[in-house]
């Protein structure tokens, strides 16, 4: 049985705005014209794959630890969907260990291994409550696959943590994050959201044009405001 980790609320630094500044500095958030999976022309793009050095991944994992601790969500282990979730879940587990929380983690393979230890998972044996780790949610496909896989192993998905919530609607007026919550009854929380990005842009007069473009895009494609 995996050790249950109970997180208590804590007063921490303003990690939301610091993360946005960090992502812009590393050009993980870029401004311009980018085509999304939905075929929309977005004035900004978030690519967590550009956190591709040891120092940037280490800092990213600390931001994830901030968000996880701030959520106060109890869970038993971390789960990282392949492929981007693999380095993320390992790095986050180390960041949490550095704060006194020795957290188990595992991740899945894209192809089931039929030799050696075999199976579709690597790492801790899933048991109890799972917190799913991902970079962003676009259509929510990988999250739905993760929930199905974890439930098949009799683990209980209790939440999803991502780096950035674009707060953008999918094929319905709801965003992918809202759809996951509505479908599975689990919270989806992020290090930062589009709201934090807009605040960052408002604080920099040189980015006024980018803020106007993103505001217009949000007006057209933003998630529904739920009661």
- 50-54, 131-135, 143-147, 222-226: the lowest-pLDDT one: 222-226
Question: pTM here?
Answer: 0.88
- Looking at residue 125, its pLDDT comes to 78
Most confident of 1-5, 76-80, 221-225: 76-80
Q: Rounded CA gap, 61 and 79, in Å?
A: 14
pLDDT the model gives residue 185 = 94
pLDDT class of 226 with cuts at 50, 70, 90: low
Q: Which residue has the higher pLDDT, 5 or 174?
A: 174
Q: What is the pLDDT of residue 139?
A: 67
On whether residue 10 sits in a domain, the answer given is: no
On the question of pLDDT at 225 being above 90, the answer is no
Q: Which entry of 16, 37, 113, 167 is annotated as an active-site residue?
A: 113
Active site residue 115: yes
Token look-up 């790095």 returns: 91
Q: Measured between alpha carbons, how far is 43 from 175 in angstroms, rounded to an integer?
A: 18
CATH number, residue 121: 3.40.50.2020
Q: For residue 89, tell me if it sits in a domain.
A: yes
Query: Once rounded to an integer, what is the mean pLDDT over residues 98-104?
Result: 94
pLDDT tens, residue by residue, 31-47: 999 998 778 899 999 99
Separation between Cα atoms, residue 74 and residue 193, nearest integer Å: 22
> Is residue 226 in a domain?
no
Instruction: Look at residue 9 and tell me if it is in a domain.
Output: no
Query: Chain centroid to CA 173: how far?
Result: 21
* pLDDT at residue 10 is higher than 90: no
Residue 6 binned pLDDT confidence (cut-offs 50, 70, 90): very low
**7 found inside a domain:** no
Percent share of the chain, pLDDT over 90: 62
151's torsion region: left (phi>0), alpha (psi -120 to 50) or beta?
A: alpha
Token pair belonging to 74: 């109890």
Residue 28 in domain: yes
Asked, for residue 159, whether it belongs to a domain, the answer is yes
pLDDT band at 192 (very low <50, low <70, confident <90, very high): very high
Computed over every residue of the chain, the mean pLDDT equals 87
Number of domains composing the chain: 1
35 counts as catalytic: no
**Does any domain span residue 189?**
yes
Q: Which of 26, 115, 167, 196 is catalytic?
A: 115
Domain extent, residue 171, equals 15-221
In 10 A of CB 52, how many CB atoms?
12
């Amino acid at each position: 049985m995996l050790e249950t980790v109970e997180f208590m609320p804590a007063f921490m630094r303003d990690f939301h705005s610091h993360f946005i500044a960090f992502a812009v500095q590393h050009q993980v958030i870029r401004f311009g014209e980018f085509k999304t999976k939905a075929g929309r022309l977005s004035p900004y793009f978030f690519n967590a794959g550009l956190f591709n050095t040891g120092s940037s991944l280490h800092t990213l994992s600390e931001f994830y630890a901030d968000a996880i601790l701030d959520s106060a969500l109890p869970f038993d282990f971390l789960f990282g969907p392949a492929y981007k979730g693999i380095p993320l879940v390992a790095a986050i587990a180390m960041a949490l260990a550095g704060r006194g929380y020795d957290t188990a983690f595992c991740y899945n393979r894209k192809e089931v291994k039929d030799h050696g230890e075999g199976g579709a998972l690597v790492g801790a044996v899933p048991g109890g409550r799972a917190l799913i780790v991902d970079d962003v949610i676009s259509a929510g496909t990988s999250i739905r696959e993760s929930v199905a896989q974890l439930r098949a192993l009799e683990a209980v998905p209790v939440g999803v943590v991502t780096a950035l919530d674009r707060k953008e609607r999918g094929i319905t007026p709801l965003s992918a994050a809202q759809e996951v919550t509505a479908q599975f009854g689990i919270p989806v929380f992020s290090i930062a959201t589009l709201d934090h990005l807009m605040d960052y842009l408002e604080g920099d007069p040189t980015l006024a044009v980018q803020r106007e473009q993103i505001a217009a895009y949000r007006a057209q494609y933003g998630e529904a405001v739920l009661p």
